[in-house]
Chains A and B, each alone.
Chain A
Amino acid sequence: QVQLQESGPGLVKPSETLSLTCTVSGDSISSPSYHWGWIRQPPGKGLEWIGSIYYSGNTYYNPSLKSRVTMSVDTSQNQFSLKLSSVTAADTAVYYCASEYSSSPTYWGQGTLVTVSS
């Protein structure tokens, strides 16, 4: 079974760049079966898909976030990463990484809370 673990700063200042990494275990990130995605959930609100990446580097982003999102994959470390630029308080959320199969986030990390505040 695939296991995922998010890591990164829990506090980011407004206008700066949020950076998170997801470490995958139990399967290779180069597996052709999965895309690797990020989903977020503001406190008390619903889920929002941020985007996903294939091991080849092909990316798919939420159109509403596309201008600020960059995803990358490091096959040597079995990790993939998220960068979200120019953050505001509205970007405060629990950020989840997940494996995606047939556009369904299947295995999820436990989530990490990122707060945007000065």
Chain B
Amino acid sequence: QSALTQPASVSGSPGQSITISCTGTSSDVGSYNLVSWYQQHPDKAPKLLISEVTKRPSGVSNRFSGSKSGNTASLTISGLQAEDEADYYCCSHASEGGSASVVFGGGTKLTVL
């Protein structure tokens, strides 16, 4: 079970849009619509932003959106704000050899310029 691949860092200016990619395989992202995204500020627990590829929990800003194509999922943040500066992680259901598990991406640090 290998970690999903995310860019180490992305940056953008306030008001801009950015997209963070999350690449997996046919054993995880490519086979299940069970991709989620998390935001983590320093010394805080991660916060769920997106579940099941596109679903936004109640209370999460509609500036956050998710999508998926093939083995790659994406998180888009529109109208960047200073408080969006954080680490972002993707997560997917995975299955290999008949055993189910969950796998995270390595994380992406978002800098708001």
| A→B interface (CB under 8 Å) | 37, 39, 46-49, 51-52, 60-64, 96, 100-106, 108-111
Interface residue? B92 (CB, 8 A): yes
Q: Is B45 in contact with A104, judged by CB distance below 8 angstroms?
A: no
26 A-B contact pairs sorted by A residue (CB < 8 Å): A46-B3, A46-B106, A47-B38, A47-B107, A49-B91, A49-B102, A49-B103, A49-B104, A51-B101, A52-B102, A60-B100, A60-B102, A61-B101, A62-B1, A63-B96, A96-B46, A100-B102, A102-B52, A102-B93, A103-B32, A103-B92, A103-B102, A104-B48, A105-B36, A108-B45, A109-B45
Identify which of B1, B34, B105 contacts A104 (C-beta below 8 A).
B34
Residues on B with C-beta less than 8 A from A60 are 99-102
**In the complex, residue of chain A having the shortest beta-carbon distance to the beta carbon of B40:** A47
Residues on B with C-beta less than 8 A from A111 are 45
Residues on B with C-beta less than 8 A from A51 are 101
* Known contacts A47-B38, A96-B46, then 15 further A-B pairs from the complex at CB < 8 Å, ordered by chain A residue: A47-B89, A48-B104, A51-B101, A60-B100, A60-B101, A101-B51, A102-B52, A103-B92, A103-B102, A104-B52, A105-B46, A105-B91, A106-B57, A108-B45, A111-B45
Residues on B with C-beta less than 8 A from A106 are 48, 51, 57
Residues on A with C-beta less than 8 A from B92 are 103
- A6: shortest Cβ distance to chain B, in Å? 10
Q: Is A63 in contact with B102, judged by CB distance below 8 angstroms?
A: no
**In the complex, residue of chain A having the shortest beta-carbon distance to the beta carbon of B57:** A106
Residues on B with C-beta less than 8 A from A63 are 1, 96, 99, 101
Interface residues in B62-113 by Cβ distance below 8 A to A read 89, 91-93, 96, 99-107
Given contacts A102-B51, A104-B34, A109-B45, contact A37 B102 (CB under 8 A): yes
Residues on A with C-beta less than 8 A from B38 are 47, 105
